[in-house]
A and B are shown apart, each in its own frame.
Chain A
Amino acid sequence: MTVRSVLRQKGLLARIDDWMNPIVIKELRQAVQSRFVVTALLVLLSIQLLAVGIYILAWRSALIDLDAGRWVFMLLYGILLGISMLFVPLYTAIRLFAERSDTNVDLLFITTIKPRSIIAGKLFAAIILTILIFSACMPFMAFTYFLRGIDLPSIFVVLLLGFMIVITCTQAAIFVASIPVNRVLKVIFGLVVLWVFLMIFISTMGGMNELFRMGIGSRLGDWEFWEGVIGFLSLFTLLIGSFFVLSVAMITPPAANRGFPVRVFMTLAWASLGITVLIGSVINKTHTPVAVWQVVFSSTFALALFIAVSERDGPGRRVLRSVPQSKLKRAVAFFFYSGAASGLTWASVGIALTLTLAWIWSKLLPAYSNHDDLIGGLKWMGAMCLYFFCYALSGALLRRHLLSKVGSELTWIFGLILMIGGIVVPFMIGYLLFFGDEWWKEDYENWLVGNPFAWNGISSKALYLGIAVVWAVLVAALNLRWFIERVSGFRPLIAPIDQSGSSVMAQIHDANIAFEPPGRQERQDA
């Protein structure tokens, strides 16, 4: 009796089949039948075989060298990682992009399948494809062990890291494919992502070489090694998770509460990583982890300000339907729900909490190393976030009052144009009116006011901060009425009542056109 027949008898296969995400089944069925996938796999294996053959034949003397295994492994690993980082994300993203361009995704939305299942299915199918590619290359990798210069733990750790990098890149590619922009912009985004992938590839190969030089097998007992592994795994989890929730938000219909999962995930990531870096800071008696944490999350929340102003002006009826009745729950919900006002509040509070907590930490433990770096980073991030706040809200004001015909989803473009103007215009005025031929000898630093990234370069910090504070207060005041209206409008949806006291349901009877069922119509005709 085979395993398959046992499974069939118990109905386990059927149950697994029913339980599986339909997207995974569809993607794998299509991958199996796709010539592209089969060709890519065969090309990869041929290149690996060719590379090993050429190395052995051309450098036979090198085989006596004790490092031959390491060099061959690095060669094979480069081929595997390069092709996987290019093929898997590209294949997955192009397929999603093609589906998103027509009504296929729309058709999925009217089934019972959830947007998160769509993205999870795409990712899971990509994971299976990556496992298939890595497994096919595994014999070549294991072969390098016999050439000496590399140990098995090193091979597995490096393959695991490579696998995680490919999955992270794939999720990033899925995110780019989910962005609802036109073909041209998507190609531009795609090229930027490819460039980032190339940088990651080069850094990974450099890092792996360094790891091999130090030797992984002998470091398995070191806490420092595992600290690094935990750090990398946390980074991958954060990146995959962030891109995942963002991709889900991108394909979720605008009418839904699509900001909610993103904000909940980012808040949880912020809190859990915050606790982790505090523990790391105490163990190593250094402020470096906290400094990195505050830079990462301050920047993320600053970017979130631009995303927030581009959200729907107010939550739609579908979102309001799920607003809690209780005032306390409603107040908490306001931070996390979709809508421009909620997004602005969430991002602003996030920035304030991140900077305040890091500042308190620096005051509590002044003796830890890199204290000055933390303080310097806090000032830099504080100023940058303040300017981001000003540009985002100014962009929102501009769109609402002067360009009201433009959809709210384009508000970030106005903010970005203002920011570019703020960076370039003051400097150009100074250059044209006051500088000599050798501008770099002039005291040009004060002309960097308006540049959110210029904290370290500016000489008059008071002027730089003063302008930002006055501007922030002004735009906040100008947006206050709009904000209060949004807060007061954030209430659970109740069916509108007309003057006679009947609800929308009753108005149906007054609908101006109604057709009788055909049976009744025929009877009347008769």
Chain B
Amino acid sequence: MKVEVVNLKKHFGATRAVDDVSFSFSSGQVVGFVGPNGAGKTTTMRILSTLDEPSDGDAMIDGVSVVEEPERARHLVGYVPDSLPTHRDMSVHEYLDFFARAYDLKGERREQVIESVEEFTNLTGIREKMLNALSKGMKQRVSLARALLHDPPVLIMDEPAAGLDPRARIELRELLRVLSSHGKAILISSHILTELAEICHAAVIIEHGKILMAGAMGDLLMSSVPRRTVLIRVLEQQEELHRELLQMPHIENARLIGSEIALEVNGTEETCCDLLVSLIQRGYRILEFKQQRANLEEIFMNVTKGVVQ
């Protein structure tokens, strides 16, 4: 199962909401879709969910074009929009039953599917509760349950963590981890970048309808750092080590912070390895040698300009 977005464009009059966007991801991957408001995230996600038609380009889900065969593509995609279910006079179970019927699930199979989805999303205890009496976190779980009813291999989630309290966010994160381990390909947009960094295998940063940066999460975090920062913790001789490090080649700066020393190394990962070997050979008893990575928020702030169309 592969999701392929190819040269996707969407114009609203003179506004280029999505401008030649291409990327792909596969089963079991969680891909973060990051960008400021008005960057084109929701438009791209709506196109992937067959709700909008692109001006040009295409998106393939397991080889099925969302433009040419939207009816087939709909069976492969579960869409979780940024708004939560608002039906009045309807319980959680009735809501899920309604959508199960809309997905053409019949008879006992429908009942089984609803029960298993309720169980998976931890809704069994509140299945008879009215939708308008639910908290945001519960509604978000209902929304996810609805998207899972037809067991789609791809999930498109637009700001699912918006407005959730920390507990609900952690629960959602765990659900996504499980879904990913079950082989679902997940495209998720969020403004809570620390959350994304923890669950995503890859990220796409978009602004003004164009992709600014994209790749596997590890590569992104490494590639955006001009110098490598290394944290060293030794059992003793901290001050002596600090002085010695300042004399060494490739070390741009070294700061002693409590029992730790923070270094700025001008070089590759190999340089860091050589440094570690050299320190051990010199008899330092090293407890910790950690290369610090930039976080997604820093990368986001570095690459985006906050341009809204």
Contacts from A to B (Cβ < 8 Å):
14, 17-18, 22, 25-26, 29-31, 33-34, 98-99, 102-104, 106-113, 253-255, 316-318, 321, 405-407, 493, 504-505, 507-508, 511-519, 521, 525
Contact = CB atoms under 8 A, between A and B. Distances in A.
Contacts of A22: 98, 101-102
B38 interface: no
Nearest to B181: A518
A253 B51 CA distance: 7
B202 A515 contact: yes
Contacts of A321: 68
30 contacts: A17-B107, A26-B98, A29-B90, A102-B86, A103-B81, A104-B86, A110-B77, A111-B74, A111-B102, A111-B104, A112-B103, A112-B104, A113-B102, A253-B52, A316-B53, A318-B70, A508-B6, A508-B24, A511-B24, A512-B214, A513-B22, A513-B23, A514-B24, A515-B215, A516-B216, A517-B26, A517-B28, A517-B29, A518-B180, A521-B216
A103 B75 CA distance: 19
B189 interface: no
Given A113-B102, A508-B60, A30 B51 contact: no
A514 to B, nearest CB: 5
B44 to A, nearest CB: 13
B25 A515 contact: yes
Contacts of A30: 87-90
Given A516-B216, A517-B29, A521-B201, A25 B23 contact: no
Interface of B: 4-7, 13-14, 22-29, 31, 49-53, 58, 60, 63, 67-68, 70-71, 74-75, 77, 79, 81, 83, 85-90, 94, 98-99, 101-104, 106-107, 146, 150, 180, 201-202, 204, 211, 214-216, 218
Nearest to B98: A26
Contacts of B58: 504
Given A103-B81, A253-B52, 18 more contacts: A22-B98, A22-B102, A26-B90, A33-B90, A98-B86, A107-B81, A111-B102, A317-B53, A405-B13, A504-B58, A508-B4, A511-B5, A511-B6, A512-B211, A515-B216, A517-B26, A517-B29, A518-B29
Contact of A515 (B24, B85, B101): B24
Main secondary structure, interface of B, reads: mixed
A461 to B, nearest CB: 43
**Sorted from nearest, which 3 A-B pairs have the closest CB atoms?**
A255-B53, A22-B101, A111-B102
B216 A29 contact: no
A525 B180 CA distance: 19
Nearest to A493: B68
B16 to A, nearest CB: 13
Contacts of B218: 525
A107 B80 CA distance: 9
Given A29-B90, A30-B87, A110 B50 contact: yes
Contacts of B89: 29-31, 33-34
Contacts of A507: 6-7
Contact of A108 (B5, B102, B201): B102
A515 B29 contact: yes
Contacts of B68: 317-318, 321, 493
Given A25-B101, A504-B6, A104 B87 contact: yes
Contacts of B204: 513
A382 B88 CA distance: 50
A103 to B, nearest CB: 5
A124 B121 CA distance: 33
Given A255-B53, A508-B6, A518 B28 contact: yes
B236 to A, nearest CB: 33
A97 B253 CA distance: 64
Contacts of A14: 107
Contact of A111 (B5, B83, B103): B103
Contacts of A521: 201, 216
Contacts of A512: 22-23, 211, 214
Nearest to A254: B53
Nearest to A521: B216
A102 B139 CA distance: 15
Given A515-B215, A521-B216, A112 B74 contact: yes
Contacts of B106: 18
B109 to A, nearest CB: 10
Contacts of A504: 6, 58
Contacts of A514: 23-25
Nearest to B79: A110
Given A22-B98, A407-B13, A517-B27, A511 B4 contact: yes
A308 B77 CA distance: 34
B112 to A, nearest CB: 14
Most chain A beta-carbon contacts within 10 A, residue among B25, B71, B102: B102
Nearest to A11: B107
Contact of A318 (B29, B53, B146, B214): B53
B22 A511 contact: yes
A107 B26 contact: no
A138 B50 CA distance: 48
Contacts of B87: 26, 30, 99, 104
A111 B105 CA distance: 11
A512 B107 CA distance: 45
A18 B98 contact: no
Nearest to B69: A321
Given A316-B53, A525-B218, A110 B74 contact: yes
Nearest to B202: A515
B107 to A, nearest CB: 6
Most chain B beta-carbon contacts within 10 A, residue among A31, A104, A110, A513: A110
A470 to B, nearest CB: 33
A25 to B, nearest CB: 7
A253 B71 CA distance: 13
Contacts of A107: 79, 81, 99, 146
A102 B87 CA distance: 10
A133 to B, nearest CB: 18
A422 B58 CA distance: 45
Nearest to A37: B89
B25 A106 contact: no
A110 B216 contact: no
A338 to B, nearest CB: 12
A29 B94 contact: yes
Nearest to A255: B53
A112 B180 CA distance: 25
B41 to A, nearest CB: 15
Given A493-B68, A511-B24, A106 B51 contact: yes
A497 to B, nearest CB: 14
A518 B179 CA distance: 14
A112 to B, nearest CB: 5
Contact of A109 (B51, B63, B211): B51
Contact of B83 (A102, A112, A406, A513): A102
Contacts of A26: 87, 90, 94, 98
Contacts of A253: 51-53
